[in-house]
Amino acid sequence: MPNRVAIVTGAIGALGTAMCKQLTDQDRTVIATHRPGDEPRKKAEQWQKIMAEAGYTVNIMPVDVADYDSCKVFMESVEKEFGPVDVLVNNAGITNDAPLKRMGADQWTQVINVNLNSMFNMCRHAFEGMCNRGFGRIVNISSINGGKGQFGQSNYAAAKAGVYGFTKSIALEGARKGVTVNSISPGYIDSPMVRAVPDKVLESIVADIPVGRLGQPDDIARAVAFLTADDAGFVTGADLVVNGGQFMG
C-alpha cells in the first residue's frame, strides 16, 4: 500500500486517537489537527509524545476547521511539507446542548460551523486535487443522533444529518475520478465525555443498545480503516452505521 498522506481533524480525542493509530498501521503519513492557540498546542504536543511512546509517529498541525481561510492555509501547508493529501477524515465535532426554547443563536451557529461547515471548508481544499490525481478517500463522521434526533440537540442533530446529504452529493462528483466519499455514524462510544454522565443515565444508555455495551473507539477506527483503504474504491456515498444495533434507520 502506498505511503499516502492522511489528515484527521479533531484528532486529539478518544476517537481521533484510535483513527490515527489505524491509519498509521496502514502506513499512512498522518497529520492530526488541533485548535489554534497555546493551550491546544501544548495538549497536542503531549498527546503526540504519548503516541510516540506507543510506537505511533503522528504529525500535529493547527487549524480552525470552522474558518474557510484557515483550512485553505492549512491544506497548502500540509501539501508543501508532506505532499498531496489522499485521505481526509473529518472527525472534528462539538456539542452545545439546550432545548430549542432556551437555545441561543450563538449555540446554534457554533455547532453548525464546527460540525457541518467544517466539512465544506476541509473538503473544498482537498477534493479538487484528489480528483485531478485520480485517487482520494474522504470519510465524514456523523452520529446516531443525525438519524434519530435527540432531545436538547437540535443543533447537533441538524449538523450531523446534514453530513449525509453533503457526503452523498460530493460522492457523485468524485465517483468517476477515483475519489470515494462516505460517512460513519457512531453510536454511544466509551469515551471520557460519555463516562462523565451520571451512572443511572449511562445504565439507561447501555440498556438501549442491543449488543449490551458501549462502542469502543477502535470500533469506529476500524470502519475508517476500511473506508480509506486503497482497495475500497467500490464503496462511495454510503453511511456506515456503527451503533451496536441501537438505531436501525
Q: What is the residue whose three cell numbers read 489554534? A: 36
Q: Are 206 and 168 in contact (CB under 8 A)?
A: no
Residue 228, in any domain of the structure: yes
**pLDDT on residue 217:** 97
Sign of the CA dihedral running 56, 61, 62, 63:
negative
Q: What are phi and psi of 216, to 5 degrees?
A: -105, 150
Q: What pLDDT, on the 0 to 100 scale, is given for residue 230?
A: 97
Model pLDDT, residue 197 = 79
Domain membership flag for residue 244: no
Q: Is 120 inside a domain boundary?
A: yes
The amino acid that residue 176 corresponds to is: R
3-state SS class at 134: coil
Phi-psi region of 145 (alpha: psi -120 to 50; beta: other; left: phi over 0): alpha
The DSSP code sequence of 168-236 is HHHHHHHGGGTEEEEEEEE--B-SHHHHTS-HHHHHHHHHT-TTSS-B-HHHHHHHHHHHHSTT-TT--
- Domain of 75, CATH number, reads 3.40.50.720
Residue 243 maps to a domain: no
Question: Which listed residue (68, 156, 164, 188) is catalytic?
Answer: 156
What's the domain range around 111?
5-236
Q: For the chain, what is the largest distance between any 2 Cα atoms, rounded to a whole number of angstroms? A: 52
156 has catalytic annotation: yes
**What phi-psi label fits residue 59: left (phi over 0), alpha (psi between -120 and 50 degrees) or beta?**
beta
CA 79 vs CA 41, 126, 225, 228: distances in Å: 21, 10, 22, 19
Q: Which residues contact 124 (CB under 8 A, 6 or more apart)?
A: 68, 71
Q: Is residue 46 part of a domain?
A: yes
242 within some domain: no
Number of domains in the chain: 1
78 vs 91: CA distance, rounded Å: 17
pLDDT of residue 196: 79
Residue 248 lies in a domain: no
Burial category of 153 from C-beta neighbours within 10 Å (exposed 0-12, middle 13-18, buried 19 and up): buried
Q: What is the spatial distance between Cα 56 and Cα 11, in angstroms, rounded to a whole number?
A: 13
AA letter at 162 = G
Per-residue pLDDT of the chain (249 residues; tens, 9 = 90+): 568 999 999 999 999 999 999 999 999 999 999 999 999 999 999 999 999 999 999 999 999 999 999 999 999 999 999 999 999 999 999 999 999 999 999 999 999 999 999 999 999 999 999 999 999 999 999 999 889 888 899 999 999 999 999 999 999 999 999 999 999 999 999 988 788 778 888 899 999 999 999 999 999 999 999 999 999 999 999 999 999 999 887
Question: pLDDT at position 1, please?
Answer: 57
Q: Is residue 246 part of a domain?
A: no
| Three-state secondary structure call for residue 72 | helix
